[in-house]
Amino acid sequence: MLFRTILLFLSLLCHHFAFANNELCIGVAGPMSGKGKNFGQEMLEGILLYVDQINQSNGISEKKIKLIIKDDKNDPKIALSVAKQFASAPDILLVLGHYFSTTSIMAGKVYQRYQIPAITGSASAVKLTQRNNWYFRIIPNNAFQATYIANYINSYLKIDRAIIIHDTDEYGIDLLNYFKRAAQSSGIDIIQEFGINTLSNHINVQIKKICMEICKIDHPGCVFIATHAHEAIKLMQFYQDKRSYPFLGSDSFGTYSFIKKLPKNNKEVHFVIPYLSDVSDRTALPFIKAYQKKYNKPPNWVSASYYDAIKLAHCAIIRANISEEELIKRKRKKIQNSLNQFYNLKTGLKGVTGTLFFNSTGDTEKPLNMGININQKIKPSFVQYNLIPPDRINYSTLKKTLTGEMILINDQVMQKTMVVFTRIDILELIDFDIKNRIFKIKFNLSFTYQEDIDTDNIQFLNAISTDFIGKPIITKNIDSSTTKQFQVEGTFRSNVNLKAYPFETNSLNISFFINIFQGIFFIFF
């Protein structure tokens, strides 16, 4: 009788623990130590921000997210071991990572074999998702990036010659081959290419020699650098050519590791980047504010991408409708099916880096941002491209791809969008009628742009009256851009809410609208 009682107690105890586990386990893999630890830290910052937000709000169906974090040290052999640990774990639903392409490709073999879904927000080698229906990627792959850069060189920079410097690993060779293919179709002549063996102990010697060779080339046009951040920094440090021609790079140029170590007063570098807060839409503002509050710095593309990766994982788990009684293999299969339901712009999930969706190979084809790195600071390029929904594509839009107004990559059509940098400097708050919510103010309004805008068409939407006549007090022309500054004095309506928190501060808004007829889309910020 005592034996039966003990058995019954143990049975109830096991049942209790099986259902008392109120956590959803997600694996995270990346370089948490060693040469690439900065990238691992940036991954975690984005992931932890989202997890904290979910767990503090009672999680998914009152379940908390538990992260199992593993360090792959940016070593393919260690990545393989980490992947096997994740695959054999009885509670890990999916994996976020790995950071680099080489480690992701190695780990992907395990995820494919043992059927565990994985989402990367950084690895961009084309090979990663080919013939692997368990790996998903939320940034455009190297083929897309290289084609995007070639289109930018051709349609915006108007350059028809290029030199390529590339790493000889999977990442560099990928970018090299796809850029050459895109350059050929865009009419860009590749006049020289140089490879860097990253496994060599003499990388500095290789890079110095490449820099010397480029200096001997007449009219190089532009230089496309298809390397990781480490080699790109050395190229910038050793490069001594005083001639003026643009450098272009991949997403590695938009990482903190590259920006912080880039020499000041360096050459202007254009690069693609999956996320740039300056040109993100309003839906990204809560993320930007929360990130700055938590980490006391602005988010970069790596943190933003992995914030989106965990958000997508969260949504996929909800939609999978998994139950405690199901085997882990069944749960993972349901989550994989759930991820496959994000298959186009309409069914995608809105993230801070754009709409998250996958094509048939588990890749995304959303537009990239073009950034410019000047004196260790990133600013948006004057031209960006925005995705046009399929139902708006017609003969007219396809015709515009021939003139450079739009670009076509695979089946995605993207609209050319000009950026106008705006700034308001308050000179004097003349009067503020709190009771009637009206204020009188004097300020300077500045625009910096490349495509001309008609300042006569500026309308202040919340103005009662202004003295604005559309004539600038200052006009400056620097390189290919123009800056115009206007002085405005006027009376405006305020939407100030005195009952809103925080009570000691409030914002006074000045809204304006420009009626543009040129047929070009503009972003003002």
Give me the CATH number covering residue 240: 3.40.50.2300
Does 265 lie in the same domain as 160? yes
Does position 524 have pLDDT exceeding 70, yes or no?
Answer: no
Most confident of 53-62, 275-284, 316-325, 464-473: 316-325
What whole-number percentage of the chain has pLDDT above 70? 90
Does 434 lie in the same domain as 457? yes
Does 71 lie in the same domain as 114? yes
Nearest to 305 by CA among 120, 148, 129: 120
Tell me the pairing of strands 474-478 and 481-493.
antiparallel
Give the pLDDT of residue 266. Answer: 64
Boundaries of domain holding 473: 418-524
Q: How many helices and strands, by DSSP H and E, does the chain display?
A: 13, 24
The model's pLDDT over 30-78, given as tens digits with 9 standing for 90+, comes to: 999 998 899 999 999 999 999 999 998 865 566 899 999 999 999 999 9
* Helix 229-238 with 203-215: angle, nearest 10 deg: 50
Kindly report the pTM of this predicted structure.
Answer: 0.86
Does 156 lie in the same domain as 135? no
* 55 belongs to a structural domain: yes
Quote the CA–CA distance of 421 and 419 in Å, as a whole number: 6
Give the pLDDT of residue 413. Answer: 85
Higher pLDDT residue, 505 or 384? 384
Q: Which residue stretches of 137-244 are H helix?
A: 142-152, 170-186, 203-215, 229-238
Quote the CA–CA distance of 224 and 132 in Å, as a whole number: 30
Give the pLDDT of residue 499. Answer: 63
Could you tell me the two tokens for 482? 């123009």
Query: Binning pLDDT at 50, 70 and 90, where does residue 525 land?
Result: low
Does 158 lie in the same domain as 37? no
Give the bridge partners for 118, in sequence order.
95, 135
Does position 240 have pLDDT exceeding 80, yes or no?
Answer: no
Torsion of CA 80, 84, 85, 91, to 10 degrees: 140
Give the bridge partners for 415, in sequence order.
386, 406
For the residues 328-357, what does the mean pLDDT come to?
A: 96
The CA angle 491-493-498, to the nearest 5 degrees, is 125
Does position 14 have pLDDT exceeding 50, yes or no?
Answer: no
Does position 479 have pLDDT exceeding 80, yes or no?
Answer: no
* Helix 301-320 with 328-340: angle, nearest 10 deg: 110
The model's pLDDT over 274-296, given as tens digits with 9 standing for 90+, comes to: 999 888 888 899 999 999 999 99
Nearest to 170 by CA among 120, 210, 113, 227: 227
- Match 């893999």 to its residue by tokens: 29
Burial group, residue 482, by CB count within 10 angstroms (0-12, 13-18, 19+): middle
Does position 184 have pLDDT exceeding 80, yes or no?
Answer: yes
Quote the CA–CA distance of 98 and 428 in Å, as a whole number: 52
Does 136 lie in the same domain as 177? no
The CA angle 242-247-250, to the nearest 5 degrees, is 155
Give the pLDDT of residue 290. Answer: 96
Q: Which residue stretches of 296-370 are H helix?
A: 301-320, 328-340
| Average pLDDT in the chain | 87
Query: Binning pLDDT at 50, 70 and 90, where does residue 500 land?
Result: low
Give the pLDDT of residue 518. Answer: 54
- Our count of domains for the chain comes to 3
Nearest to 108 by CA among 132, 90, 126: 132
- Match 């063996």 to its residue by tokens: 197
For the residues 165-187, what does the mean pLDDT come to?
A: 94
Give me the CATH number covering residue 464: 2.70.170.10
* 404 belongs to a structural domain: no
> Among the three residues 273, 306, 341, which one is the final residue of a domain in this structure?
273
Does 85 lie in the same domain as 192? no
Would you tell me how many other CB atoms lie within 10 Å of the CB of residue 518?
11
Does 154 lie in the same domain as 255? yes
> Among the three residues 356, 390, 408, which one is the final residue of a domain in this structure?
356
Does 169 lie in the same domain as 100? no
Does position 446 have pLDDT exceeding 60, yes or no?
Answer: yes
Residues 6+ apart with CB under 8 A from 99: 30, 31, 36, 39, 40, 43, 72, 74, 120, 122, 123
Does position 264 have pLDDT exceeding 60, yes or no?
Answer: yes
Does 195 lie in the same domain as 245? yes
* 470 belongs to a structural domain: yes
